[in-house]
Amino acid sequence: MDRLIADTAERIFSDHVDRGVLDAAEHGEFPRALWDVVREAGLHLVGSPGSGTDGGDLCELLKVAGRHASPLPLAEVLMANSFLDEAGLTTIAVGGVAPWGRAADRVVTVEGEMSVDFDVAEDVNLAGESRDRVQMRNAHRVDLPGQLYERMALSRAALMVGALDRILAMAIDYATEREQFGRPIAKFQAVQHNLAILAGEVAAARCACDGAIMALGSPHLAVTVAAAKARVGEAAGVAAEIAHQVHGAMGFTHEHSLHHFTRRLWAWRDEYGRETHWQEQLGRRVAGGGADSVWEFLVGAG
């Protein structure tokens, strides 16, 4: 990824995503100030035609957003801007549900309907992120890019990779600082082994996601996204469980910020197809090739 984009994103999210913004967003308030800063920096156009950036950069930006639990509907905005002319805030609906439908100027559905005229019933996912029910009026058809559903699944995988990276860092920091029995709990073998498992899942998730990113624009996208969403989703469950165990009761409080990341992981692993959905998709393809081609299939997918 363009180093400049990564650094800019890192700086903006570090400076502008704080506890106040996250709590306000959970109370239903769209993070307008953050959105303005993101637009001023041009980050909302990463991956769009003529921006000099591509789908890989888009995913790398989402990893940074996930690392900071950014409350913007960034995956939707970036994906929409990658195939539509930019016109304010465009969100993407799946199954009639769109992140920040209440604040959007325009809604596109993964089935290819678009409208600027829609009713909104506010709702949230289990992370408290806006997931509004939208009812479109005067919708018209738009040409979608191929495999939009798969690309959106990949966007969730990229967000999860960022959040996974963050909870690993938080768990390591906490275990190194928190003392019990006269020493940091990081010195206990049982804790070390849990953190090693956590690090393994985070590394695996990142590699699975990067595999799908490398397949963008190739015929292997569907297969690698299926593997990525399934594997990252599995990692999210294991990793969040360990991160909480390491943080003890402190991590179960609303005051501690761990839940901003773990609740998002629990929500995102279900969005755009949970693990079993993608496992089944992938499994059908593998089985369809026959037993003696299993290996060829796996290698061919890259």
Partner 1 sequence: MFAGLLFEPTRLPDEAETLRAEVRDFVARELPPDYWPNSDFNEGHSPAFSRKLGERGWIGMTWPKRFGGGERTFFERYVVTEELLAAGAPVSAHWIADRQSGPLLLNYGTEDQCQRYLPRIARGECFFSIGMSEPNSGSDLASVRTRAMRVSDGWVVNGTKIWTTDAHRNHYIITLVRSEPPSQNRHAGLSQLLIDLRGEGVTVRPIKNLAGGEDFNEVVFEDCFVGDDDVVGEPGNGWTQVTSELGYERSGPERFLSAFRVLVEFVRAVGDEPSPGEAALIGRLAGHLMTLRRMSISVAGMLQKGGSPVVESALVKSLGNDFEKLLGELVRLQAPPGNVRLEKCLRQTLLHAPSFTLRGGTREILRGVIARGLGLR
Considering only 41, 204, 237, 270, the residue that binds partner 1 (CB under 8 A) is 204
Assess 281 for contact with partner 1 (CB under 8 A). Answer: yes
User: Hey, how many other C-beta atoms are within 10 angstroms of the C-beta on 280?
Assistant: 13
Name residues whose C-beta falls within 8 Å of residue 61's C-beta, 6 or more positions apart in sequence. Answer: 1, 5, 6, 9, 43, 46, 47, 74, 78
Nearer to partner 1, 190 or 249 (CB): 190
Assess 186 for contact with partner 1 (CB under 8 A). Answer: yes
* Residue span binding partner 1 (CB under 8 A) among the ranges 86-94, 122-130, 188-196, 251-259: 188-196
Considering only 41, 84, 124, 197, the residue that binds partner 1 (CB under 8 A) is 197
The C-alpha atoms of residue 59 and residue 64 are separated, in whole angstroms, by: 9
Report in angstroms how near the CB of residue 68 gets to partner 1 at its nearest.
11
Beta bridge partners of 184: 179
Assess 87 for contact with partner 1 (CB under 8 A). Answer: no
Considering only 70, 182, 211, 255, the residue that binds partner 1 (CB under 8 A) is 211
Nearer to partner 1, 145 or 283 (CB): 283
Report in angstroms how near the CB of residue 105 gets to partner 1 at its nearest.
33
Considering only 196, 218, 248, 253, the residue that binds partner 1 (CB under 8 A) is 196
Residue whose entry in the numeric block shows the structure tokens 């798969």: 150
Assess 60 for contact with partner 1 (CB under 8 A). Answer: no
Assess 131 for contact with partner 1 (CB under 8 A). Answer: no
Helix axes 258-268, 221-247, angle to 10 degrees: 150
Assess 69 for contact with partner 1 (CB under 8 A). Answer: no
- By the 10 Å C-beta count (0-12 exposed, 13-18 middle, 19+ buried), 20 is classed as exposed
Distance from the Cα of residue 15 to its chain's centroid: 20
Assess 166 for contact with partner 1 (CB under 8 A). Answer: yes
The C-alpha atoms of residue 122 and residue 131 are separated, in whole angstroms, by: 7
Closest to 168 measured CA to CA, from 199, 133, 208: 199
Binding letters toward partner 1, positions 230-269, x by CB under 8 A:
xx--x-----------------------------------
Nearer to partner 1, 24 or 172 (CB): 172
Assess 175 for contact with partner 1 (CB under 8 A). Answer: yes
Inter-residue contact 125 to 131 (CB < 8 Å): yes
* Tokens (6 digits) for 24: 């306000």
- What are the C-alpha distances in Å from 60 to residues 1, 3, 158, 172, 211? 6, 10, 7, 23, 13
Inter-residue contact 93 to 108 (CB < 8 Å): yes
Report in angstroms how near the CB of residue 259 gets to partner 1 at its nearest.
18
The C-alpha atoms of residue 72 and residue 74 are separated, in whole angstroms, by: 5
Report in angstroms how near the CB of residue 98 gets to partner 1 at its nearest.
28
Assess 227 for contact with partner 1 (CB under 8 A). Answer: yes
Closest to 144 measured CA to CA, from 118, 109, 116: 109
In the chain, the amino acid numbered 231 is R
Residues near partner 1, by CB under 8 A:
10, 165-166, 168-169, 172, 175-176, 186-187, 189, 191-193, 195-197, 199-200, 202-204, 206-208, 210-211, 213-214, 224, 226-228, 230-231, 234, 275-276, 278-284, 286-292, 294-295, 297-299, 301-302
